Amino acid sequence: MNGLRKLRDLPGVLVRDLPRYARALRRAPVAGRPGSGWATLCNRNETMHRPEGGLGWVCDWPLGSALHAPGVLPVLGRRLMDAALREWPIRFAPRPQSSGGKPKLSFVIAHAGAARVPQLRRTLYSLFAQDAVECEYIVIDQSEVPFLDRLPEGIIYRHLNKSRVPPGWRKSWAFNVGARMARSDLLVFHDGDICAPASYAGELLRAFQDGKPGAVSLQRLLFYLNASDTGSVDAQDRIPRACAPDLIFQNWKGGTIAVNREAFHSIGGFDEGFVDWGGEDDEFYDRCAEIGHLRAGYLPFVHLWHTPQANRMAVDNMNTTRVLPARIGIPRAQRASALRQRSWGDPGSPDSVGRYV
């Protein structure tokens, strides 16, 4: 947000947003009732509702949005992030806390390229620190050269040979391969640049036990760190309290989602026709409505800085402008039925249908 716009918007933020932020951030967390303070904050023109008997908040708008007030008054972002991480701390551990038993959760991460290895390591450290839940951590790598030696011990690593595969980033293929490898009945598809609170795994188990949904999305806010603060996380091995997020995002569809294995198979996994950046998370999220999707969010996550994808916000991104609308236009049940018939998750090659155009 540029300086002129901040100056123009500052009076409205001081009068209309500052008081409600102050009230929400003063509320102490209620035991057994998360999301009663900081998690209630959204933009003035937005509304949320709390499902009866639910723990989190469902946003009453279809697309992700950034919180406006912290962009104008950064101190609100610092205080909001501090309150969220005091209730749901993010911790780091150098190795998994495993007893050698069958995992209750399988985290699956798709990755490519040496440039983001530091973010991947830090994300894994946050997942290793999950409280008292046996987990496994599967990294499916599409880099030209394997780099297992640069990753922490205790993960399950699979390098996909793409020498005979048309070029392109294939996140859906990697997720499907990881799902086939997973040993647990609960699959968590997680981006390799997002640190999770230490209670995430435990909260997912509780969510699946209550009402038995097919898919669960517990994220409420995503705090984007800048390059300097991301470097401080690595240097200090913690999230510094002085961090000021560049952006606070809410109601987003990617990043992390947990799915029951049987339900995942019933809707055909991720759609491997999506190649390169964008669209696959949105399409999968949409199909999850077929299996019962708990979307009441109350947990904070932290996004580590990296150089953004060159075409992320491009107006001519084929996946988001053409492919995704065309796929969403097909009824969910029809898409799921067609995907179930495909040979998805084959580590030797992606789905033979090829990429959508």
**Residues 124-132: what's their mean pLDDT?**
96
How many residues appear in the chain?
357
DSSP string of 48-82, one letter each residue:
EE--TT-SSBEESSSS-EE-HHHHHSHHHHHHHHH
Flag whether pLDDT at 316 surpasses 80.
Answer: no
Euclidean distance between CA atoms 327 and 331, whole angstroms: 9
Per-residue model confidence as pLDDT tens digits over 63-120: 889 999 999 999 999 999 999 999 999 999 999 987 778 999 999 999 999 999 999 9
Flag whether pLDDT at 312 surpasses 60.
Answer: no
> Would you identify the CATH topology of the domain 105-307+314-340?
Spore Coat Polysaccharide Biosynthesis Protein SpsA; Chain A (3.90.550)
Which segments of the chain belong to CATH 3.90.550.10? Answer: 105-307+314-340
Is residue 16 within a helix (H) or strand (E), and if so which, with residue range?
none
The pLDDT of residue 284: 97
Rounded to the nearest 10°, the torsion over CA 209, 173, 254, 168 is: 170
Per-residue model confidence as pLDDT tens digits over 145-160: 898 999 999 999 999 9
Euclidean distance between CA atoms 106 and 84, whole angstroms: 25
The pLDDT of residue 100: 77
DSSP string of 103-171, one letter each residue:
-SEEEEEEE--GGGHHHHHHHHHHHHT-SS--EEEEEEE--SS--GGGS-TT-EEEE---TTS-SS--H
Lowest mean pLDDT among 19-23, 27-31, 143-147: 27-31
The pLDDT > 90 percentage for the chain reads: 75
Query: Which pLDDT band holds residue 132 (cuts at 50, 70, 90)?
Result: confident
User: Distance between terminal CA atoms of the chain?
Assistant: 34
Euclidean distance between CA atoms 357 and 339, whole angstroms: 17
Which of residues 328 and 32 earns the better pLDDT score? 328
Query: Which pLDDT band holds residue 1 (cuts at 50, 70, 90)?
Result: low
Query: Which pLDDT band holds residue 52 (cuts at 50, 70, 90)?
Result: confident
The pLDDT of residue 164: 87
* The token pair that represents 126 in the structure block: 């946050």
